[in-house]
């Protein structure tokens, strides 16, 4: 079955760079049409889409955060890495990675459990 | 605020039918992009409930249904059960913003 799990620091200081890793199993990110995305959720707030990487290395970013985000994949390790620069307390959130393989567009059928990242000095 | 507008809350008694709306614009739902729905129980990751406007993933009860028309979409839940109490999110693509989520709707089962 498909599983995903996020890992990374739980606490980062303002201005630091956050690096999160999504380690997955049950699918290959070299399969046509497959993507892995990152979505975050500040405490008590709504979901916010961040980035997506496709099987063919096509990358998409939230326009409002594009300058701060980088998404990469390591197909051999079954991992996707998201980096976010210049972290701020408003970036405190639970960060999820999720698998997408929808016929039309992007929809996330499998999600990781999420990892809470707190930005504080 | 979110590009896709959802009511903050809805409620219904057990057994009743409720609908949750997701209102977009001509650059997302109105442009023909698919709408997907997620259910998020407290303290858990979202779960895909409806994809491609109307399709249910395997294992999702047929009490849940989706529709889309013009610039809006709806999620309907019939035979409301206590376990349906959760927050529901719509998601689509916006031609200027890429993937977008609605602000979420908290469903209370009375």
Best residue in A37, A47, A95, A103 to probe B by mutation, most B CBs within 10 Å?
A47
Q: CB–CB of B45 and A37 under 8 A?
A: no
| SS3 annotation, B2-60 | CCEECCCEEEECCCCCEEEEEECCCCCHHHCCCCEEEEECCCCCCEEEEECCCECCCCC
**Secondary element (H or E) of residue B87:** strand B86-94
Read off the pLDDT of residues A15-62 as tens digits, 9 standing for 90 and up. 999 999 999 999 999 999 999 999 999 999 999 999 999 999 999 999
Q: What's chain B's length in residues?
A: 110
**Closest residue in B to A41 (Cα–Cα):** B45
Say yes or no: A114 contacts chain B, CB-CB below 8 A. yes
B31 phi and psi angles, rounded to 5 deg = -85, 0
The pLDDT value given to residue A101: 87
Please, what are the averages of pLDDT over each run of 10 residues along chain B (110 residues)?
93 97 96 96 96 95 96 98 97 90 97
DSSP A55: T
Longest Cα–Cα distance in chain A: 44
CB neighbour list of residue B29: distance below 8 Å, 6 or more residues apart: B4, B22, B23, B35, B68, B70, B71, B72, B73, B92
């Amino acid at each position: 079955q498909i599983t995903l799990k996020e890992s990374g620091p739980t606490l980062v200081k303002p201005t630091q760079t956050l690096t999160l890793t999504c380690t997955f199993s049950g699918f290959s990110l070299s399969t046509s049409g497959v993507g892995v995305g990152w979505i975050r959720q500040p405490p008590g707030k709504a979901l916010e889409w961040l980035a997506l990487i496709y099987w063919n290395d096509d990358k998409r970013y939230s326009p409002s955060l594009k300058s701060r985000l980088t998404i990469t994949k390591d197909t051999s390790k079954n991992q996707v890495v998201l980096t976010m620069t210049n972290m701020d307390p408003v970036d405190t959130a639970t960060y999820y990675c999720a698998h997408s393989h929808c016929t039309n567009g992007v929809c996330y059928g499998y999600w990781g459990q999420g990892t809470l990242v707190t930005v504080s000095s | 605020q979110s590009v896709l507008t959802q009511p903050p809350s809805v409620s219904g008694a057990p057994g009743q039918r409720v609908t949750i709306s997701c209102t977009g614009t001509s650059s997302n739902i109105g442009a023909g992009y698919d709408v997907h729905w997620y259910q998020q129980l407290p303290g858990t990751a979202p779960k895909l409930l409806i994809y491609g406007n109307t399709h249910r993933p395997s294992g999702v009860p047929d009490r849940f249904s989706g529709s889309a028309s013009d610039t809006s979409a709806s999620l309907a839940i019939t035979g409301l059960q206590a376990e349906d109490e959760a927050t529901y999110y719509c998601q689509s693509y916006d031609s200027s913003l890429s993937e977008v989520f609605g602000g979420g709707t908290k469903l209370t089962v009375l």
